Amino acid sequence: MKFLTTNFVRCPISKCDNSLKAFPLQYKNCELIQEELEFNPEFLANILDRLNWEAIIAVAGDLGNDSLPPTKPENVDPKDPENEQLLKDLHTLLIETQITEGEMHCGECGHIYYIKSSIPNFLLPPHLV
């Protein structure tokens, strides 16, 4: 599971739909790896606009990284060499960092979803469907 994906998943249980505590999920007991992937600054600049930065910070914190800027970098021009380092750092974090094993806890209902062999599983037991 790429770090990026943590910004796009939340608890699928209906009663958590409108809860502010159901996103982001809380990441616990996680194992990480870095997997090298092509750097695409234009792609990253576009994706950056779409991110919920507070959730990025929260999940990074869960995973032991407290070094992110507190506010989202805005209007990042991917062609400006000054932004290269920032975009490279984002690439390393969002695209290359993968959670291979771990737990995702819903802050609203407490349900735990598991990540195994890099694949998060959101299937619900029958009584919760």
Partner 1 sequence: MNSHSEEEQRMISVEDPALREQIYVHTVYNEIAPHFSHTRYKQWPIVEEFLKSRTLGSIGLDVGCGNGKYLGANKNVYIIGSDRSDQLVNLAYTNNSKIQSFSDTLVADGLKLPHFGNSFDFVISIAVIHHFSTPERRIEAIKHIISKLNVGGEALIYVWALEQQNSRRGWKEGMPQDILVPWVLQKNKKKKNRNDEDQEGTQEEEPETKMRYYHLYKKGELEENAEAAGAEVVRNGYERDNWWAVIKRK
Neighbouring C-alpha atoms within 13 Å toward the C-beta of 5:
14
The tokens for 112 are 């735990």
108 binds, among Zn ion, partner 1, none (CB under 5 to 8 A by kind): Zn ion
Site for partner 1 in 6-65 (CB under 8 A): 8-12, 23, 35, 37-38, 40, 42-43, 45-47, 49-50
Minimum distance, C-beta of residue 62 to partner 1, in the bound complex (Å) = 17
Question: Would you say 21 and 109 are in contact if contact means Cβ atoms under 8 Å apart?
Answer: no
Examine residue 9 and tell whether it contacts Zn ion (CB under 5 A): no
Give alpha helix (H) positions in the chain.
41-50, 53-62, 84-90
Beta bridge partners, 27, equal: 104
Which positions lie near partner 1, rule CB under 8 A? Answer: 1-2, 4-5, 8-12, 23, 35, 37-38, 40, 42-43, 45-47, 49-50, 95, 113, 117-124, 129
